[in-house]
Chain A
Amino acid sequence: QVQVVESGGGVVQPGGSLRLSCAASGFTFSYYGMFWVRQAPGQGLEWVAFIRYDGSDKYYADSVKGRFAISRDNSKNTLFLQMNSLRGDDTAVYYCAKRLLTGGFYYYMDAWGKGTTVTVSS
C-alpha cells in the first residue's frame, strides 16, 4: 500500500539547520509531485513546499522561502527538506504528502506520513 515515512526531526537551536527525509513506497514515486506540510503545536495546517515529479519546479510558502529547500532523489524514492536559519516559529510536526494525481493541477495531498517533530529552542 501507499506509504510515506518521515524522519530527521529533532531539537535544534535557533539559527541551526536540519534535513528531513521522507521515504516513499507502494507507488511509482517518480510519477508524483510531493509536498511538505507542517502543523505547529495546537494549530492548523500550513503548506510549506511542493516539488514536481521530476524536480523541475519547486514552490515555497513565503514564511520559508530562502531558508528551506525541497529536493528529491527518484532513484531512492526519497523526498527531502533542507531547513536552514531555523526560528522558533518553525517548531511543528512536519508531514510529507503525496500529490493526488500525476497530471493536471490537482494540488491536493492524498497520502500522508505520520510526521516528524521539529523543535527550535535554545
Chain B
Amino acid sequence: EIVLTQSPATLSLSPGERATLSCRASQSISSYLGWYQQKPGQAPRLLIYDASNRATGIPARFSGSGSGTDFILTISGLEPEDFAVYYCQQRSNWPLTFGGGTKVEIK
C-alpha cells in the first residue's frame, strides 16, 4: 500500500498570503496524484488531478506540481473561502490511498 504523508498538519496564514502544501508518497507514483478540498460539514471537492491539472471550475489560484514522490499544492493568494482541510490522493496503485490532510486555518 502506498502511504501519502502530508505536511504540515496545520498551516496558519492570513488572507492574501500564499499557501504551500506538501504531499510525499512512500514510493514513486509518477504524476498520479490528486488534491481535494473539504470544508466543515461538506463533502470533499476535487481541485487537481494528475499532479497539475485543475478540475472543472477550479480557480487559477490553485496549482499543483511534482512527480515521483514529492508533490506540492499552491494557493497563490488565500481567499476567505479557501480556509479548509486539503487531502492528497494517489491513483497509481490499488488500494487508492489518501494523505492525512493539511488544515489551512486563519492566522
Contacts and interface: CB of A to CB of B under 8 A. Distances in A.
A95 B43 CA distance: 8
A105 B32 CA distance: 9
Q: Is the interface of B mostly helix, strand, loop or mixed?
A: loop
Given A100-B46, A110-B46, A112-B43, A44 B97 contact: no
A61 B95 CA distance: 6
A68 interface: no
B96 to A, nearest CB: 4
Interface string A89-121: 000000100001000011111101111000000
Interface string A35-60: 00100000011110010000000011
A108 B46 contact: yes
A94 B45 CA distance: 15
Interface of A: 37, 44-47, 50, 59-62, 95, 100, 105-110, 112-115
Contact of A106 (B43, B49, B87): B49
Contact of A44 (B34, B50, B94, B99): B99
B71 interface: no
A28 B50 CA distance: 24
Interface residues of B, number: 25
A110 B44 CA distance: 9
15 contacts: A37-B44, A44-B100, A45-B36, A45-B38, A46-B98, A47-B97, A47-B98, A59-B94, A100-B46, A105-B91, A106-B50, A108-B91, A109-B36, A112-B45, A114-B43
A45 B87 contact: yes
Given A105-B91, A108-B91, A44 B98 contact: yes
Contacts of A113: 43
A50 B43 contact: no
A110 B98 CA distance: 15
B55 A110 contact: yes
B89 interface: yes
A47 B43 contact: no
B87 A47 contact: no
Given A45-B36, A108-B34, A115 B43 contact: yes
